[in-house]
A and B are shown apart, each in its own frame.
Chain A
Amino acid sequence: MLDIPLWKRVLILGVVAIGLIWAMPNLFYSRVEAHNDALAASEQAGFVTDEQQAAIDGWPSWLPSGLVNLGLDLRGGAHLLAEVRVEDVYKSRMDSLWPELRRSLAEERDVIGAVRRVEGPADELHVQIENGDQMARAVEIARGLASPVVSLTGTGQNDLEFSASGNTLTVRLSDAEKTATDDRTIQQSLEIVRRRVDEVGTREPTIQRQGADRILIQVPGIGSAAELKELIGTTAKLTFNPVIGRGTDAEARAGIGNVVLPSQDENGVFYTVEEAPVVTGEELTDASPSFDQNGQPAVDFRFNPSGARKFGAYTAANIGQPFAIVLDNEVISAPVIRDAITTGSGQISGAMDVEGSTRLAVLLRAGALPAELTFLEERTIGPELGQDSIDAGKIASIVAIIGVVAYVVASYGIFGVFASVAVITNVILVLAFMSAIGATLTLPGIAGIVLTVGTAVDANVIIYERIREELRRGKRVASSIDTGFREAMSAIIDANVTTFIAGLVMFFLGSGPVKGFAVTLTIGLATSVFTAIYFTRMMIVIWLDRRRPKELVL
């Protein structure tokens, strides 16, 4: 027990040394961060500027450059929890199904008679059929439009459900299809939110799916949650719709298939437009901020080939008619078509400033969100408050370490020094491990580390107290130490496993501050067992070999 083989010594020292090297970059936080940022930026751009080269040279590349991520509460930034309104998509599915269904039913007009869409809930399509007694035939035709759902759970089900009452045919999405659609909607929303945040180019944003229909967005360094919300909260659904009329009455009767939309910059003006768009923003390939002929900020855009073809055909057929450019249910402008536009490019101008046109271009490039987002939770932490917390945390940690070291050394003498070395090593190992896996350090996380300083001593204390007891029984020094370590093992393991259980629960069930705390606490537990059982023992064994004390006061 008391002679540790050489390979074990090398291994223990190796772990400690690796810990030191991995933790070291955190001492030079800003320099390493600049190095990492410059490296990432230059890799993405494909070339290196002089400034970037200087930053890259600021930290030797052969040293590890992993850093502990600072949480939002330490770095400052914005946190948003958004819920995706997945039902929005059901409506647009129904709206786009209607023309198709109308065409299919019209083919058998002589049997079914005339059909028209009537009002119904947003996620259902209600169709009235003239010859109610031919409903069975109508349902049969409608069924032809359904297709099987491709998903793991919903196999064998069709995407559409049909029911009939009287002469009304009702179409809705099946549950399996709703689940599949929801999943797609969230994935799409995640992707688009990510693209939008990336366009702004901040460091290490966190964009995660949470639960069934939520997205968690954390962006360090951004000024406020409101700013972030403006960027990702806008649906940015751009459509080009035929204009039916223009008026000043918001309650004007639009007729089935048409909607009344407000104008963005003409107060009190409303346009009645066809709900089905000619072209949508999805067919844009590019958008960039520019200026119109009057020097006002505008956005240039370009369609993809199919969009350009549709737009060209529509404009050619409707010369002299107005069409509306609609963004998020507001008419930005409604120009009159003078010529067929076949080049596939155009310009949006309206009441906006340069900032607005830049943002609109970003939004159009990143694509429209498939559904609206509702924000359930938002937090902004100013960078100064974060810096204050870091400073306070640093001072508190140092004072805590000094206090604990003083107390332990006063209690156990040279063995106290060993315990202190172990405790400090422990903090270094926690930081090293967190840097290596890129874990995030939060303010409660700092508290977790400080607490670990207190509890890491515990394993040593259990061992030392045991050694004291053995010495008191009149055993020899080496024998006491040996027994002390062995007898203490079961208490150390039991004690740490129970705390570990609490830590794991916190990690998996907790969110935000609880999670940050759990990370450092559990890592600290694991490393403290290592330092107490292996590192302290090695120090003591080496000391025993050198001194060979006849008696020991502990």
Chain B
Amino acid sequence: MAFRLKLVPDQTSFNFFRWQKYTFGLSAVLMALSVILLLTMGLNFGIDFRGGTTIRTESTTAFEIGDYRDALTAIPDLGDISITEVFDPTFGEDRHVAQVRIGATEGMEAMTPEQIGQVETALKEVDPNVTFAAVESVGPKVSGELIKTAIYAVLAASLGILLYIWMRFEWQFAVGGVVAIVHDVLLTMGIFSALQLRFDLSTIAALLTILGYSINDTVVVFDRLRENLIRFKNMPLVEVMNLSVNETLSRTVMTAVTTAIALFALFALGGDVIRGFVFAMLWGVFVGTYSSIYVAKNIVLWLGVKRDWSKPDPDKLPEQFTESP
């Protein structure tokens, strides 16, 4: 017999509802915690959402953040300044990168070229080897709109998915799926708030992907659930659900692992520019997998579902009707 790597044994019969109170409770607590974090600590918005300027500096020699700060505070009419050093395992000895962020000032759209020039000369004075790899400036007018479209995007995607699942399944499934999405999005925003990671446009892209991934996972379980509901008309709902999750568990884990492998490669080697983005997605794969096993179907169970699927789709008849070769 050939060797096969199996993270999940062939036949499993875990009772996923055994700890239902705790798992569901944990989700609820984490969601509440995320909301509290978002309300108290807030998100560390990037310039996309709150306006301002970021400058990525690169230098061949080590620098002191304090020196940079002193050089910049001398310039009049600049918004609040924050400087962080960027570390990355792929950087060599002689590569020192900093991210300088200058807040938007009242009544100003993008920073004037004169101001950017002043900033660049000031930094060059303290560190002659410094170069400016990227300069980005977003005015408050645009950043306000970007935040609005970002929220619309997340809402529109959720709504579209809700409608699709409603159409293909039953409304209880749609509600279950969307609660799972909300769970994932909230938890992701929560961890961004807790770790104060930068939240910008690409984080929104990550959120939308998490949303797609999580619903993808959920739908595969739902699909099996629907099939089993037709097949085992008299089995209690809890058992049909357990059976469906167990049957799809191997696939759930397999896909989560392959996606995580791919994302982890990107996280480790893709460079610091997209690390935050990839982090959000890795986290999303984790919570998305969790939510499709422990959140989505619990909602469906709680809402109840019709048991009489008297007019099933002819394509999805149980196996006894398929011809043998």
Q: Residues on A close to B: CB < 8 A?
A: 2, 73, 81, 83, 224-226, 229-230, 374-382, 384-385, 388-389, 392-393, 395-397, 399-401, 403-404, 407-408, 410-413, 443-444, 446-447, 450-451, 453-455, 457-458, 461-462, 465, 468-470, 472, 476, 478-479, 482-483, 486-487, 489-491, 494-499, 501-506, 509-514, 517-518, 521, 553-554
Interface flags, B288-325, vs A, CB<8A=1, else 0: 00000000000000000000000001011001001011
> Which residues on the B side are within 8 Å of A514 (C-beta)?
153, 201-202, 204-205, 208
Minimum distance in angstroms from A371 CB to a CB of chain B: 16
Q: Pick the contact of B136 from A379, A389, A487, A510 — CB < 8 Å?
A: A379
Q: Pick the contact of A379 from B135, B156, B223 — CB < 8 Å?
A: B135
Cα distance, A264 to B115, chains bound together (Å): 22
Cα distance, A479 to B132, chains bound together (Å): 63
Q: A377-B139, A491-B220, A514-B204 are in contact. Are A411 and B254 (CB under 8 A)?
A: yes
> Which residues on the B side are within 8 Å of A521 (C-beta)?
209, 212
Nearest B residue to A497, CB-CB = B164
B212 contacts A502, CB within 8 Å? Answer: yes
> Which residues on the B side are within 8 Å of A511 (C-beta)?
146, 149, 201
A491 contacts B224, CB within 8 Å? Answer: yes
Cα distance, A521 to B265, chains bound together (Å): 18
Task: Give the top 4 A-B pairs by smallest Cβ distance, nearest first.
Answer: A454-B259, A454-B262, A502-B212, A392-B271
Q: A458-B259, A509-B149 are known; give 14 further A-B pairs, CB within 8 A.
A: A229-B113, A375-B110, A380-B134, A392-B269, A397-B265, A400-B263, A413-B2, A450-B263, A454-B255, A479-B325, A501-B161, A514-B204, A517-B209, A553-B4
> Which residues on the B side are within 8 Å of A225 (C-beta)?
113, 135, 137
A506 contacts B208, CB within 8 Å? Answer: yes
Minimum distance in angstroms from A526 CB to a CB of chain B: 14
Contacting chain A: which of B61-69, B188-196, B272-280? B272-280
> Which residues on the B side are within 8 Å of A410 (C-beta)?
3-5
B164 contacts A380, CB within 8 Å? Answer: no
- Interface residue B29 (Cβ < 8 Å from any Cβ of A): no
Chain B residues touching A, majority SS: helix
Minimum distance in angstroms from A231 CB to a CB of chain B: 12
Cα distance, A73 to B202, chains bound together (Å): 13
- Interface residue B258 (Cβ < 8 Å from any Cβ of A): yes
A392 contacts B208, CB within 8 Å? Answer: no
B325 contacts A388, CB within 8 Å? Answer: no
> Which residues on the A side are within 8 Å of B324 (C-beta)?
476, 479
> Which residues on the B side are within 8 Å of A553 (C-beta)?
1-2, 4
Q: A389-B271, A412-B4 are in contact. Are A458 and B248 (CB under 8 A)?
A: no
Within 8 A of A (CB), among B231-267: 247-248, 250-251, 254-255, 257-266
A499 contacts B325, CB within 8 Å? Answer: no
> Which residues on the A side are within 8 Å of B260 (C-beta)?
454
A379 contacts B137, CB within 8 Å? Answer: yes
> Which residues on the B side are within 8 Å of A478 (C-beta)?
325
Q: A482-B325, A510-B153 are in contact. Are A380 and B4 (CB under 8 A)?
A: no
Cα distance, A396 to B269, chains bound together (Å): 5
Nearest A residue to B211, CB-CB = A502
A498 contacts B164, CB within 8 Å? Answer: yes
- Interface residue B133 (Cβ < 8 Å from any Cβ of A): yes
Cα distance, A489 to B322, chains bound together (Å): 15
> Which residues on the A side are within 8 Å of B43 (C-beta)?
none
A230 contacts B266, CB within 8 Å? Answer: no
- Interface residue B87 (Cβ < 8 Å from any Cβ of A): no
Cα distance, A413 to B311, chains bound together (Å): 39
Q: A389-B273, A396-B270 are in contact. Are A458 and B262 (CB under 8 A)?
A: no
Nearest B residue to A423, CB-CB = B258
> Which residues on the A side are within 8 Å of B204 (C-beta)?
510, 514
- Interface residue B41 (Cβ < 8 Å from any Cβ of A): no
B149 contacts A510, CB within 8 Å? Answer: yes
Within 8 A of A (CB), among B152-189: 152-153, 156-157, 160-161, 164-165, 168
Minimum distance in angstroms from A386 CB to a CB of chain B: 9
Nearest B residue to A412, CB-CB = B4
> Which residues on the A side are within 8 Å of B250 (C-beta)?
465, 468
Nearest A residue to B55, CB-CB = A380
Q: A479-B325, A483-B322, A514-B201 are in contact. Are A408 and B258 (CB under 8 A)?
A: yes
What are some 25 contacts across the A-B interface (CB < 8 A)?
A: A224-B135, A374-B109, A376-B139, A376-B141, A379-B136, A380-B135, A400-B261, A400-B263, A403-B265, A407-B258, A410-B4, A450-B266, A451-B259, A454-B259, A458-B255, A461-B251, A465-B251, A482-B322, A490-B313, A494-B222, A498-B215, A502-B212, A504-B160, A506-B208, A512-B201
Q: A374-B109, A455-B255, A472-B11 are in contact. Are A502 and B201 (CB under 8 A)?
A: no
B277 contacts A454, CB within 8 Å? Answer: no
- Interface residue B101 (Cβ < 8 Å from any Cβ of A): no
Q: Pick the contact of A378 from B56, B133, B137 — CB < 8 Å?
A: B137
Q: Pick the contact of B266 from A375, A447, A497 — CB < 8 Å?
A: A447
> Which residues on the A side are within 8 Å of B11 (C-beta)?
472
- Interface residue B138 (Cβ < 8 Å from any Cβ of A): yes
A465 contacts B254, CB within 8 Å? Answer: yes
- Interface residue B6 (Cβ < 8 Å from any Cβ of A): yes
Q: Pick the contact of B5 from A73, A411, A444, A469 — CB < 8 Å?
A: A411
Q: Residues on B close to A: CB < 8 A?
A: 1-6, 10-11, 56, 58, 90, 109-110, 113, 116-117, 131-139, 141-142, 146, 149, 152-153, 156-157, 160-161, 164-165, 168, 201-202, 204-205, 208-209, 211-213, 215-217, 219-220, 222-224, 227, 247-248, 250-251, 254-255, 257-266, 268-271, 273-274, 277-278, 281, 313, 315-316, 319, 322, 324-325
Nearest B residue to A211, CB-CB = B145
Q: A479-B324, A510-B153, A514-B201 are in contact. Are A407 and B257 (CB under 8 A)?
A: yes
Cα distance, A400 to B261, chains bound together (Å): 6
A400 contacts B146, CB within 8 Å? Answer: no
> Which residues on the A side are within 8 Å of B263 (C-beta)?
400, 450-451, 454
> Which residues on the B side are within 8 Å of A397 (C-beta)?
265-266
Minimum distance in angstroms from B193 CB to a CB of chain A: 21
> Which residues on the A side are within 8 Å of B3 (C-beta)?
410
A506 contacts B157, CB within 8 Å? Answer: yes
B164 contacts A501, CB within 8 Å? Answer: yes
Nearest A residue to B204, CB-CB = A514
Cα distance, A510 to B157, chains bound together (Å): 12
Minimum distance in angstroms from B102 CB to a CB of chain A: 13
B142 contacts A458, CB within 8 Å? Answer: no
Cα distance, A413 to B3, chains bound together (Å): 8
> Which residues on the A side are within 8 Å of B269 (C-beta)?
392, 395-396, 399
B4 contacts A455, CB within 8 Å? Answer: no
Minimum distance in angstroms from A191 CB to a CB of chain B: 23
A400 contacts B262, CB within 8 Å? Answer: yes
> Which residues on the B side are within 8 Å of A413 (C-beta)?
2, 4
- Residue among B90, B266, B281 having the largest count of chain A Cβ atoms under 10 Å: B266
> Which residues on the A side are within 8 Å of B261 (C-beta)?
400, 403-404, 407, 454
Cα distance, A308 to B249, chains bound together (Å): 83
A502 contacts B209, CB within 8 Å? Answer: yes
- Residue among B141, B208, B247 having the largest count of chain A Cβ atoms under 10 Å: B208
A443 contacts B205, CB within 8 Å? Answer: no
Minimum distance in angstroms from B88 CB to a CB of chain A: 9
Q: A458-B255, A476-B325 are in contact. Are A505 and B156 (CB under 8 A)?
A: yes
> Which residues on the A side are within 8 Å of B215 (C-beta)?
498-499, 502
Q: Pick the contact of B258 from A399, A461, A491, A510 — CB < 8 Å?
A: A461
Nearest B residue to A413, CB-CB = B2
> Which residues on the B side are within 8 Å of A447 (C-beta)?
266, 270, 274, 277-278, 281
